[in-house]
Every structure is written in structure tokens, then in C-alpha cells.
Amino acid sequence: MELNIHDKTLKCVGVVNNELPNALHYFNDNWHRYLAEGSSTFEFTVLKNNPDYALIQSSSYISFYYQHEDYLFNVIGIKEDDKNNVVVSCIDLNLGLVYETLNAFKNTKRHSIVWYLKNAAKITDNVLEIGNNPFSEVDEDKSNPILTFDNTETKLERIRSICKSFNAEFQFRTHLKNDGTLQSITLDLYQKDGIGQLRKDITLYYGKNVTGITRTMDKTGIFNATTVTDSKNKYNWLSVEGKYYNEEGQLEFYKNAGENTAYALISKDTFPAQLKSNKADQWIRKDLSIEATSANNLWDYAVSQFKLYAYPRMTYEVSALSSVVTEELGNGRPLEIGDTVTIQDENFDKSDGGLILSARVTEQEISFTNPLNNKITFSNFVKLKSEISADLMSKVEEIAKENAPYCAEIETTHGVQFKNGKGLTTLSAHVYQGSVSTETIADTYEWTKDGESVANAQEITVEASGFSDKVVYAYQAILNGKVIGSASVTLTNVKDGTDGKAGKDGRSVVSIEQKYQVTLTDTKPTEPWEDKRWQIVEPKMTATYKYLWSMTRLTFNQAPFTQDTVEKKAVYGDSGKTGADGKPGKIVSDTEPTTKFKGLTWKYSGLTAIDASDGTNIQPNTEYYWNGKNWELNIITAHNIQAESLESLTGKMGDLETGSVTNKIDFATTTGKPIHYQGTSVLNDKGYKIDANMSDLETGISRGEKLISLDVEGGLFISDGSNSIALTSGYMVKPTLLINGNDILDMIWPIGSVYTSYENKNPADLFGIGVWTRIKGRFIVGVDEADTSISSAGKTGGEKNHTLTTDEMPKHGVQESVGIKNASSEAKGYGLTQAAAFKDRVIINNSGKPTYTGSAGGGKAHNNMPPYMALYMWRRTG
């Protein structure tokens, strides 16, 4: 089935066709037809991988041609998901009929159904034409009712209400022109049960095309006496007189003039209100009220209700094969909405010839892409009586069985048409006698191909390569030497024609853009796309600018290159009437609510704690409850919480009962050697288990599993995949860590190691291991085997204060000058440096002051310590 895509002017702009390889394809389609509404809905799905999907917009129309009729649908919904699907929802009615609301309508006179449709339902000829009409068009006709409509309702609801008052059925029909644009929409009117046909050519049988029938008896609501009053008090029930006779000529319902009650006589005799026959009142009473159109209308309503409730209600549900919906039946036509058919099931009421029902098709669901999803709904069930009396039934059945003609059929597995000589199908012969659904098995089945004998079997397989254009296969079914049935079928073999001339490139969408505008009035904006009033970002509506519009621009690859569509997106609603006080709600604010009532909850959104007016200290991000006098912490209590995902950032929990808690381990170190840890930690009723694998990210070498398990009996098991240690129940587990069976503290501080701390606490008391000796007043220096003073650990030396010796003093000398003045004498002698010459001499000044050198310093020891920080130190000695 090809779907046509129309733009807002009904111009055909594209197609959806699964037979064309490059066209937009569809699936998951469902065409749902309704008798009561006279309309239908259509839904289908397309994929976004074909750019033509963009041709389907909210202003678009979809049409197709089915059973010689046009069907045009408004697109009313488009839903896209993250799987590339676009679901399109449609309805085949004018949007004005579905959504336009009509006000109450007052009237005091009789009018024709056409008058009501045009005046009360506001049907205009330029929107909807009235076609078939079997009802009187004379307003004064006494059969016409006086109708008023007190409530607002949509046009479609008003049309349904008018037709119901006239006992009319209606149907909308669409007619399109050859170019796909709308020619007309017609509203056809029918008398009750006028839509569809009485299909005497069709009987559906259980076991053949009916898969199941369910019958339900319901006696609730039964009554057989009633008084019917006019809700408007216009017509007098007391004066009404009426009698109703059944098909056997028995008086079934009656009401006498001057009496206030109508009676269902046969119902009272069959279903009395009480068992004692001497009681006068055996009637079951229920009074009724309607808005009557005449006095006779009151009696007609009483009869209609007696038919429904004077006897137990028998309801039926019929399940039919999906093929019944669209396949050709009877005289070669498929079932249509409104058709009435006969349904027979021999498993019910065998003494009456089986259950025979008359039923009407009231709904159809048709899928063009998957016929197995087809469904059909029957209603208006009426149980039919066999035309043969009960005492003759058995004899008639015997005669009928002997003389009933045989019906021969041919079923195929893959149809009767092939393409290009490829494919095969299986033909199977089936014979039924009369209306019996059980197949008659013949002695032999003789098959012929174009008149020549080919096989003697119930089934034969035909290959397309075995014939050219067409071939006729036929069979005769032979039972007890007699031919009881025969049938034939024509198989065809079509071939692809030669390729046509290449067509011109099509016009397709290149891009889609959208702009927005808000306006003061409901008048559609006419400004062009380039106008600055059209904005890329959707503006907010206000009480002044109440109307939000969108303009969608489609850009094509061929002229005309652009197409703009303006649509009303939303309307800012006026303030409604003040409603009644609602139930206590919740306020979220950083200040205390000024209006408080019992039941109010307040979530404080401030960042720092505050004191409320009642003195309660209010904490940030916390919810409180007003009990009428004070704020209380609002505690949420739940007996059962079931969630697929539950997340808590922080929380305090009391008793928590769970089956198992599993945490996924998957992280890599960011400092030092890059190691990737992967695994799980599991807490369950058997204990706690950490199971992780470490991989070196540089070398790619796995370091094996690291497993820590604590079972419920107190056992501890630690393993790195190759080495392990286990502590079982009964052992005292000290607060130590073990690696490969060794205490990690012994590994960190072995004998001879030094421990430093700000705290004066012996490591033996701190770690519970070893013997430690306190080290006092000593600096630490590294051992140097080349230096005898520090060539091994434990050597000591040095002093806090030190006095320098002469050798430790730096070298130095003293220079002093000797002044010589007015020498009056001199010492003479041999020179100091030369033994035999008078060369050196010293002139002594007897009158000057003497010159000399002196001593300085105290000779004390000095501090020999560098800058320091004092810590407590211990050396492990055992």
C-alpha cells in the first residue's frame, strides 16, 4: 500500500512506498476503523535514515486509496526516539470537527436532522457536505425531536448526539482530485444499522475462520416493571398506553393508560421477585427518566430497556483469524465496517442445531505491512433460531449429512503469482461437506496441469521455473469411487520489463530551520523569514503577548528552493477561577513561610542554619513539618521500597536487610607506578570478599588476583594468587596486617630500625611489637666505611661544646710601628745582620712614650650544634 504525503495545501510532496527501493519505507502500521464514530485513526513508523521523513510535518496530511475509496488523514502527532524511529499518528477527520468547541444551544421547536447539523453543530457547506440522508427535511415533521444542548462539547460530539437522537448512523467520506488535493468531505446519514450490508453470502464457522466463541450470562440489573418520566416534565407518562408482542405472538410488554407502571409479563413469570406464589407482588421494579421528545418516546424507551434488562443478558466474544479482516469472502468482497454476518458454532446448543449468531462488524484494525496483526471486533450479537423444529432436527441432520454438497478448496503456501521464474508454492486439496468444519479425507486426489495428469496426492509442489506465463492446476477428489469435489487454480509468472528512461533528479529536502514569534492577537503573522520579529530562540509568552507562533523553513535542492510554514504553537492561558484550597503541599525557600497550616511541609534551601519563629533550629537542605504549633523534622517512613536504581550520597541507616551488596572495582593509580585494579567487593550472608586483579599499565603484565575474604565464622583468608594465609574460627586476630604470612609492621620496622615521633610513646606500646631503646641527645649521620670515626653503625662521637686548641686556631701575626724622634744619641755596634760592618743601628728617642703589643679573648669553649629540631627516637633492639 502506497501512502501519499501532502503539505498544508494538500499538494502531494512525496510518497511512502515499501516497493520502491529509494523511497521512504514504513512499518508497525495500524489503521483502526470505528463504526460508532464514523471515522478512523492511522499510525505508522518510518526511519530517519531517509531524508524524506522531513516531509512529514505537523501540518501535513497522509492519504491512501483502499477498496475504491480515498482516505485522507490529518497528522496530529509525531514522536521521535533515540533509535532513529519516527512514529506518525493521524486521524481522518477535519481538525475543526475534533477540536473545535461549541457552546450550549437552546431550542424550543422541532427541526430536521439537517437543520440541527447546520445550526446546532455549525456544519457549513464549505467544510462538510451532507450526502446520503434518508430522514425528513421538513422541520415540522412530528417524527422530528425537539433538541437542546446544555453543555459545551466538540463538533464531533454534537454530531454524535444529534444522530443518536434520530436513531441515525453516520459516516465521513473523503474525495480527492487526481492531483491529490481535496475535492470534498461528505457526511452520509443512515437509518439505524444502515451502514454496511447484511452479508447473507458469509457464514463464519468455528474451527475454520473463527478460533473461539465465549458466551457469558449476566442476570444482574434485571427488572420487569418500570415507570418512565420526562426529565423536563413536558410529556405525560400516565396517559401512555402500549403493547409489545414477541415473534411467537405472545404479549411480552404492556402498559395501560391511567396506570403508572409498565410491565414485562413473561419476565415476571420466568424470574419472579419471590418464590411464594401467593404473594401479590412478584415484580422487580426499576424506574427510569429521560429527556423525552414525545409521549410515545417514553413508551419506546421502556420497551428498549425491557429488551435489555427484562431477561439475563447474554454476551458473546468472538475471536476470528486475522485473514478474515481483509480476505475476499462469500461473493468475493472482504468484510467492511457495519457488515452483519452469521457465525456458527456446533459446540453450543447442539439440541437446537448449534449456536447461530448474527453479529455486526463494529471495529477493524488493518496492517498493510503485517497482516498477521489484523483484528476484527464484532458486536450487536443476536442469537438466531434454527428454522427446523427440535423433534425433526436429528432426522434433518441425518438427511442433510447424506445429501449435503461437497465444497472443494485449494490452499497455497506462497500464493499463485511468481516473478522472473523464481520461487515455488505448495498446492493442497481440501474438501468439506455442507457446513461441517471437519475436513472430508478423500481416497485419492488426481491433479492435472493444463489438462494433463501430473500427480496423485493431496499436496503437490509447483516451481516457477516449470512454466512460462501461466498454468492451470486442477484436481478431483474421489471417495468410494465417486468424484465428490473438484477445484482449479491459475498460477502466473510475470517478468520485469525493460528499464525505462532515467528520470530527472527529484526535489528533496536539504535542511530544516525554525524560528519563533509571539503576538498580541490570534492573527497569523505574515512577516517574511528574514524579518527580525522572527527569532531563533523561542521567546516566552506573557499575559500580553499570549500567542506563540513558529515558522518552519524547508530548503530544497531544486526550485522553489524554500518553503515556509507558519503554525500556532501555544496560547498563554488566562487566569482561571480561584479553586478550592488544595491538600497541604510543600514549600521550598530560604525563608520561613509566612502562612502556615497544619500539614505544611517546608524544605529550607538556605546555606546556613537559622532559628524559626517558634524557636526551632532549622538546618540547611532539610525538610520540616508544621504540626499546628511547631516545626518538626519531616521523616519519611516507607514499609517497602522497590527500585531498579537507588542512589544515596550520604545517609544514616538503621537496620538494613539485603541479599547481597556488590561494588565494582575499576580504577588506575594516578601517582607512582601505574597500576590498574579491576574486580569486585561483595558483602552477603557468607561474609565480605574483595576479589581484585592488578595489572601493570606500563608492561601489560598482570600481577594476579588479590583476594581478601572474611567469612561469617570469623575466618580470614588473604591471597595474591600464589601465596595465601588463612585464619580460621577460634584464633584471636590481632590488629596486624599480614603479607605472605609476615607481619607488615615487622617488615617496616625490623630489629635495628629507628623510629621517630613527636609523641613520647614507646613503639612497643604503639605497635605491640619488639623491644625498643630510647636514643637521647644524638644527631644521626650516615655510615662511611672510609672514615674510621663513622665506619659502622652504633659508633658515637662529637661534643656539644668545644674549646679550641692552638693547633685548631688559624695562623696569625701582629705588626706595630716604632717612632723615632730627635735622636740625641745612638747605639752603635756591629750590625745585626752583618758581623763586621757598622751598618745597622737603632736610634733611641729618650723623650718619647714606649710602644708595645697586648693579648685579647677569654679562651672559653664554644657551641658546636647546627640548627636542630628535637624528636623522640627509639632503636629497635629486639
**Residue 859: inside a domain, yes or no?**
no
In this model, does residue 734 exceed pLDDT 50? no
Within this chain, do residues 515 and 434 fall inside the same structural domain, yes or no? no
Residue 654 has what pLDDT?
58
**Residue 229: inside a domain, yes or no?**
yes
Cell numbers representing residue 39 in the block: 471515522
Residue 713 has what pLDDT?
53
Residue 815 has what pLDDT?
56
Predicted TM-score of the model (pTM): 0.42
Give the CATH number of the domain where residue 453 resides: 2.60.40.10
Within this chain, do residues 256 and 356 fall inside the same structural domain, yes or no? no
Within this chain, do residues 525 and 380 fall inside the same structural domain, yes or no? no
Q: Residue with C-alpha cell 752603635? A: 828
Alpha-carbon distance of 365 to 367, in angstroms, equals 7
Residues 6+ apart with CB under 8 A from 756: 871, 872, 873
Cell numbers representing residue 181 in the block: 488535493
Q: Please report which confidence band the pLDDT of residue 647 belongs to, taking 50, 70 and 90 as the band edges.
A: low
Residue 380 has what pLDDT?
66
Better-predicted residue by pLDDT, 841 or 812: 812
Within this chain, do residues 136 and 60 fall inside the same structural domain, yes or no? no
Burial class of residue 563 in the structure, from the number of CB atoms within 10 Å of its CB (0-12 exposed, 13-18 middle, 19+ buried):
middle
Residue 168 pairs with which residues in a beta bridge? 191
Within this chain, do residues 108 and 181 fall inside the same structural domain, yes or no? yes
Residue 387 has what pLDDT?
45
**Residue 654: inside a domain, yes or no?**
no
Which residue, 403, 418, 439, sits at the end of a domain?
A: 403
C-alpha torsion 825→831→837→840, nearest 10: -50
**Residue 152: inside a domain, yes or no?**
yes
Alpha-carbon distance of 820 to 841, in angstroms, equals 12
Residue 388 has what pLDDT?
42
Q: Are 14 and 61 in contact (CB under 8 A)?
A: no
Q: Is the dihedral of CA 524, 530, 531, 535 positive or negative?
A: positive
Cα separations in angstroms, 647 against 650, 680, 731: 9, 19, 38
Q: Are 680 and 665 in contact (CB under 8 A)?
A: yes
Which residue, 521, 542, 571, sits at the end of a domain?
A: 571
Within this chain, do residues 208 and 225 fall inside the same structural domain, yes or no? no
Query: Mind listing the pLDDT tens digit for each residue in 600-638?
Result: 899 999 999 999 999 999 999 999 989 889 999 988 776
Q: Which of 596, 534, 530 is nearest to 569 (CA)?
A: 534
Q: Are 733 and 718 in contact (CB under 8 A)?
A: no
Residue 794 has what pLDDT?
83
Alpha-carbon distance of 164 to 503, in angstroms, equals 54
Alpha-carbon distance of 369 to 30, in angstroms, equals 9
Q: What is the count of structural domains for the chain?
A: 9
Q: Please report which confidence band the pLDDT of residue 5 belongs to, taking 50, 70 and 90 as the band edges.
A: very high
What percent helix, strand, coil does the chain show, rounded to 5?
10, 40, 50
C-alpha torsion 629→635→639→645, nearest 10: 150
Give the CATH number of the domain where residue 134 resides: 3.55.50
Within this chain, do residues 8 and 80 fall inside the same structural domain, yes or no? yes
Residues 6+ apart with CB under 8 A from 646: none
**Residue 644: inside a domain, yes or no?**
no
Better-predicted residue by pLDDT, 447 or 144: 447
Alpha-carbon distance of 56 to 5, in angstroms, equals 7
What are the backbone angles phi and psi of residue 299, rounded to the nearest 5°? -65, -45
Residues 6+ apart with CB under 8 A from 287: 226, 227, 228, 229
Residues 6+ apart with CB under 8 A from 808: none
Q: Please report which confidence band the pLDDT of residue 393 belongs to, taking 50, 70 and 90 as the band edges.
A: very low
Residue 634 has what pLDDT?
86
Alpha-carbon distance of 738 to 749, in angstroms, equals 14
Alpha-carbon distance of 571 to 613, in angstroms, equals 43
Q: Which of 473, 435, 432 is nearest to 454 (CA)?
A: 473
What are the backbone angles phi and psi of residue 141, rounded to the nearest 5°? -55, 125
**Residue 840: inside a domain, yes or no?**
no
CA atoms within 13 A on the CB side of 629: 0
pLDDT (average), residues 290-313: 87
Within this chain, do residues 297 and 324 fall inside the same structural domain, yes or no? no
Q: Please report which confidence band the pLDDT of residue 357 belongs to, taking 50, 70 and 90 as the band edges.
A: confident
Percent of the chain with pLDDT over 70: 78
**Residue 849: inside a domain, yes or no?**
no
Q: Are 486 and 474 in contact (CB under 8 A)?
A: yes
Within this chain, do residues 121 and 162 fall inside the same structural domain, yes or no? yes
Residue 303 has what pLDDT?
93
Alpha-carbon distance of 128 to 735, in angstroms, equals 91
Query: Mind listing the pLDDT tens digit for each residue in 510-528?
Result: 888 999 999 999 999 999 9
User: Within a 10 A sphere around the Cβ of 187, how many other Cβ atoms?
Assistant: 22
pLDDT (average), residues 700-723: 59
**Residue 65: inside a domain, yes or no?**
yes
Within this chain, do residues 354 and 463 fall inside the same structural domain, yes or no? no
Cα separations in angstroms, 266 against 246, 272, 287, 312, 385: 10, 10, 19, 13, 19
Residue 872 has what pLDDT?
93
Within this chain, do residues 206 and 322 fall inside the same structural domain, yes or no? yes
Q: Which domain holds residue 707?
A: 661-733
Residue 292 has what pLDDT?
86
Query: Mind listing the pLDDT tens digit for each residue in 579-601?
Result: 776 655 789 999 999 888 888 89
Which residue, 311, 340, 364, sits at the end of a domain?
A: 311
Within this chain, do residues 77 and 111 fall inside the same structural domain, yes or no? no
